[in-house]
Structure 1
Amino acid sequence: MNNVLHFLQNGTCKLMFSHRKTMYYAPLVLILKCLVDWPDHYIYRFLLHGMKNDLYYVNCIQNMLRELHEQELNTQAECRAYLGRMFRPKVVELPPWATDLEATEFLLKRCVMIHLDDYKDKFYGLVFMTQKLFDLVQNKCKVEGADAVMVQELQVGGHLYLQVLKERLQNLMYVIKLVLEKKARTGTTLTFNAAELQSIIRSAGSLEQKMETFISTGNAPSTNLLPDAWGFVCPVTPFLDRKQTEKLPHVLENCVFIDGRLVGYLPEDTAHKSMAYVRTLKVMSEDVPITTEIVLRV
């Protein structure tokens, strides 16, 4: 599940998140205020960390904060109630008696930066993404190639199958729920014996057939990798030559931060020295795993 931060021509940002294969867009600052119960000035200072001299960025952040107040969304409680009210009909996993706030909690946990559990870590990650996005918009940084080795991560086939199986099971349970609700509305007496349950499950579709279809066809598109990307571990057949391997599907993910969590910042005048020290620890295998990739953002 991906989160993509989009820049609009009016200088605002919207966060894209997906739920049940449907993409939704929400104002960035709305999501930030839902994550943390902090004053606007505190959020403003975090967003401007290290970028106070960028007047265009400063004006855009001020406008995004001002837009929420124009909609009378001033506190975290108001923002969470608004977000839950907008998306409550879409969250079919929750029972009918669930509140708007519970719908917001579901979205924040299951759809926004799902690799992080703590809401503050989600907030810090989105702040970093915002700064990188505005740097890109103003041509202060370049787009990282999708085939670069540093953004590749090997995904084992079993993990992919487990994700697909989980998705199919969720869909199956949702269809069974709809069938039961339909039977309950007819006024007939529900009998939950083995035969009745098997009949309902059969009407919801076959799980085995869907998995067989996925395994036989696959859904990962093939890609032609750049020359500097050759040498990574191919999950299919690592012994094939370059011409053969580039035609095979590769299931890969992006790798960010340390386990996807922003740890903190270093003073600019000590960044290079700190990076050299951490790399020394990596080479000596002391405290830093040898698989750690160390990158300095300047």
Structure 2
Amino acid sequence: MDSFIKSLIFIIVTTNAGGQAKSLIADLCKSLFLMMGYDVATMDADPGNSTAIHLDSRTDGITWGSRRSIASTIASAYEGKQIVLDCGANMWASEREITELLPELASMLEAVGYRTVVLLPYTPNKPRAAATLQDLEPHLPGTEKIYIRSNSDGSGAFDPLDPSKSVIDLGYLQPGFIQHLNENGRRSFFDLVSNPHPNRVLASNYIGQWMHDFADAASKYNLFADAVPMLAKIPAQPKLRFGVNTLERCTDKALRKIQSKSVILDHIDRFGWDEAGLLKAAAALAQRSDKA
């Protein structure tokens, strides 16, 4: 097991706004725990949305009318497992019962050896996204609060964040890869990487690299360190210079074409777009082709 992890972990993934990749990150955390060989319990406390339950029917729901008194029941049922709780904006807007439940649940789990880690995701091009999360932070249980800059549109245009805050960067995942995750019945990231679709192996490799980069960054905070060498075994793939916006572009055949075009652009950027540069790029590409 992970030498960095000193106890079981209770991860709360929460935001106070919609569309911040919260459920995607909760699933990613679950998948990384599974990859490391842990039993994982997932819960959804996002009344009126419950994306986590729709994504994985094994997720338990905490809904309207939940009382603080059930904290001990939850703690007993899940003790010994890594726990991921998906808490959405609807909860903070209307569900006093659940918001009162969280500190008590965290306290009970900490009493039996858990760490409480709160992940606060936000995405680019959302005005005041970081500021509103910083307003929410004091109301959350636990002492470990980590902001997740989820580059969901690939722009990297994030709202400024207090530089003293703990941060993990989550890279851009092409829309077609997310569609691949949902095709033919929802599969987890862990399923895709450990058992790739026979015609979408390259897509799974790209997803694995995305997971690796997140786990590597998270290991700084004593999270998911054992997953890093496992994911590092996935064959490295070149950076894509063209979008993978549809499921049809996720096949191995389609991705090889995109890779080839991306490599051509890389060479032209390297040697220059004038006539001399284009000739050098062509010669380098021909040499590369001969070696292949």
The structure whose Rg is larger is: 1
TM-score between the two structures when normalised by the length of structure 2: 0.29
Q: Which has the higher strand share?
A: 2
